[in-house]
Amino acid sequence: MAKKFAPQQFLNRELGQLEFNRRVLAQAEDTTIPLLERLKYLCIVSSNLDEFFEIRVAGLIEQLNLAGVPAGPDGMDAQQTLMLVREQAHKLISRQYLILNDSILPALDQEGIRFLRRTSWNDAQRVWVREFFFNQVMPVLTPIGLDPSHPFPRVLNKSLNFAVELQGKDAFGRNSAKAIVQAPRVLPRTIPLPQTISGCAHGFVFLSSILHAHVGELFGGMEVLSCHQFRVTRNSNLFVDDEEVKNLRTSLQGELPQRHFGNAVRLEVTDNCSPQVAEYLLQQFELGPGDLYRVDGPVNLVRLMDIPNQVARDDLKFPAFSPGVPSVLQKKGADIFKVMRKSDVLLHHPFQSFKPVIDFIQQAASDPKVVAIKQTVYRTGVDSALMEALIAATQLGKEVTVVVELLARFDEEANINWASRLEEVGAHVVYGVVGHKTHAKMLMVVRREDGKLRRYVHLGTGNYHPRTAGFYTDFGLFTCNEEICADVNEVFGQLTSLGKARALNHLWQSPFSMHMEVLRSIQNETRLAKSGKRAHIIAKMNALLEAETINALYEASQAGVKIDLIVRGVCALRPGVAKLSENIRVHSVIGRFLEHSRIFYFRNDLKHNVYLASADWMDRNFFRRIEVCFPVLDAKLKKRVINEGLKIYLQDNCQIWDMDGEGHYRHKQPRRSAKKCAQIELLTQLANMPVKASP
């Protein structure tokens, strides 16, 4: 039985998530990164924090309302965690706006990219803004005066709103002192001005500034005493009762509209909002003082994410590149089935193109020899060539089966729409297993060749999403290995039919065998180390949280196993602690691309076992999801994964952060003569990219 470790030997998940966002925020602060990309990083932090409050903080509050919820592995209960989260989140957000106001906006201004504030408008700008307000803004506004017949309105999650204090009587003699103005989501939050009006190459005005300047027009004859923008973040967890649900899609469609009106978990106001207005809003949303976040600027920085797309300044962005294509697939009209019969094919995104995956499905759809296609869909986007190919394949008479995960967070609506379209043309659409999200990335094509049926498979660490494949690092493997194909077929059978789980040839599968196999592999390295042999584990993932796996890694470290962990986000393991984890190093890489691949390497007495997976080492991935972990069997491809996915990152000294035993991170600083950036080197090796490229 595995030794149990004390709570103080685990780090807190929520605090680790805030630490991750500090590392992202450091990118916004880094002056070696192109300016418009720094602005993007600032926006990414806001987007990450939105989801953090909607899901993680909301979950903590739910725990507080339920009696008897046990503490996590770190020993902290929901109340303790929430107190520390609020404290750290306030500091992080204050730092974020300080960087915006003191660094990024002044630097943008110097480049002729300006956000014109009301206090600095000249006469021509005032006239232009006024015309824009009356023509584009005022017609879609519905101001709501608050009185007994007009209660406080339902405020949409993360929407822009204004609390207005008034004085005087209206046309009906009503003496209402407060009103709410909700900014419709159809209105842009940043409005570009003509160059002749702005006086600079790229001038923008915030919608909030336009509304502030003209809010009096909405309340004729009354005096506006104050106007303050605010934004509320709500609980966005969806509740679907696994035991009561009869039709998952119908249940989810009924639940989705309520996401916009869940319980409030955070209130953002500008720093000049009066205490009286802030307190009034807190009361309306049933929040406490700790849930109030005062910000020095717009309450939603996510809306600045589109500014780089509106500004034609390539010199202020990362250099463009063309993803590479493996030489075996470069020939125009290459028969991918013929290529796969000769050897497995490995793709490393985004350095290599995602197009071969699209080509694979499109070829399968039009190939008269293909009789069936099966695919899992977790996230694929609103506009997807892959889904269109599956629809076309169905219309051409192929047997198409699609396992659609309806509970892919924030992609539920897109997935429901794809499921409906697929069903309309006759595809078999199933929703996996209630209570277990289908997170595995699998695609199988069945082809009739020489009177026999042959299977071809694509397995990946990332989603079948062409857009995110352009900035998430992931691996994809094409293979027609009969045993792996049989394993994939077995997993599809579990998802679409009924029956006991059978032993698989090569794949590790959650919730059945993956956790056990990960532990067995760690323990095997421990046994080898104890017998005096060299032992080494390298694992790359997004998060490491599962307690038993962490315990096994601690024991391996104590036995002398060298362990390198590359964990992009949250890591509950404490590295480098004397007599506990002296042989464990934890790193995090934050760069141009989001590190998303999951790679597990076990030296195994020079057998060098390499696995790719859809799963992180988390409780949910091991026990509450359908996941697959697959081996790389081809020796050349195995070497590629080790070199491109692991070694090059461990040698990085530009974008890598080292974690200490307290969960804090130190950014490595390269010597001038020995700068090594993994993502840039991979772009140079695999893509069409200039050698001298900015990180």
pLDDT given for residue 244 in this prediction? 42
Residue 410: count of CB within 10 angstroms of its CB: 12
pLDDT given for residue 552 in this prediction? 97
pLDDT given for residue 407 in this prediction? 62
Which fold does the domain 7-316 belong to in CATH?
polyphosphate kinase like (3.30.1840)
| pLDDT per position as a tens digit, 237-285 | 755 444 444 454 454 444 445 555 689 999 999 999 999 999 999 999 9
pLDDT given for residue 53 in this prediction? 96
Would you give the distance in Å from CA 90 to the centre of its chain? 22
Confidence of residue 613 (pLDDT cuts 50, 70, 90): very high
**Residue 373 φ then ψ, to 5°:** -135, 135
Confidence of residue 4 (pLDDT cuts 50, 70, 90): low
The residues facing 293 across adjacent strands are: 268
pLDDT given for residue 184 in this prediction? 87
| H or E element, residue 127 | helix 123-132
Q: Inform me whether the pLDDT recorded for 408 exceeds 70.
A: no
Residue 103: count of CB within 10 angstroms of its CB: 16
Say which residue the tokens 């190093």 belong to: 585
Classified as helix, coil or strand, 562 is strand
Say which residue the tokens 């090796």 belong to: 685
The verdict on whether 439 is a catalytic residue reads yes
The CATH class given to the 509-686 domain equals alpha beta
pLDDT given for residue 142 in this prediction? 87
Please tell me if the domain spanning 327-500 has the same topology as the one spanning 509-686.
yes
pLDDT given for residue 412 in this prediction? 65
| pLDDT per position as a tens digit, 201-210 | 999 999 999 9
| pLDDT per position as a tens digit, 97-118 | 999 999 999 999 999 999 999 9
Residue 172: count of CB within 10 angstroms of its CB: 8
DSSP, res 378: S
Classified as helix, coil or strand, 73 is coil
Please report, to the nearest 10 degrees, the dihedral formed by the alpha carbons of residues 89, 95, 98, 103 taken in order. Answer: -140
Say which residue the tokens 């969960």 belong to: 663
Contact present, 443 and 478 (Cβ < 8 Å): no
Would you give the distance in Å from CA 389 to the centre of its chain? 26
Q: What is the mean pLDDT of the chain?
A: 90
Q: Inform me whether the pLDDT recorded for 590 exceeds 60.
A: yes
In the chain, pLDDT over 70 holds for what percent of residues?
91
Domain boundaries 327-500, corresponding CATH code? 3.30.870.10
pLDDT given for residue 66 in this prediction? 80
The single residue of 212, 214, 439, 515 carrying the catalytic annotation is 439
Greater pLDDT, 168 or 506? 506
Sequence-separated (6 or more) residues with CB below 8 Å from residue 121 = 129
Q: Inform me whether the pLDDT recorded for 452 exceeds 90.
A: yes
Average pLDDT over residues 576-583: 96
Average pLDDT over residues 685-690: 82
Sequence-separated (6 or more) residues with CB below 8 Å from residue 442 = 374, 375, 376, 457, 458, 459, 488, 491, 492, 628
Q: Give me the residue spans of the domains in the chain.
A: 7-316, 327-500, 509-686
Before 350, cis peptide (omega within 30)?
A: yes
Confidence of residue 334 (pLDDT cuts 50, 70, 90): confident
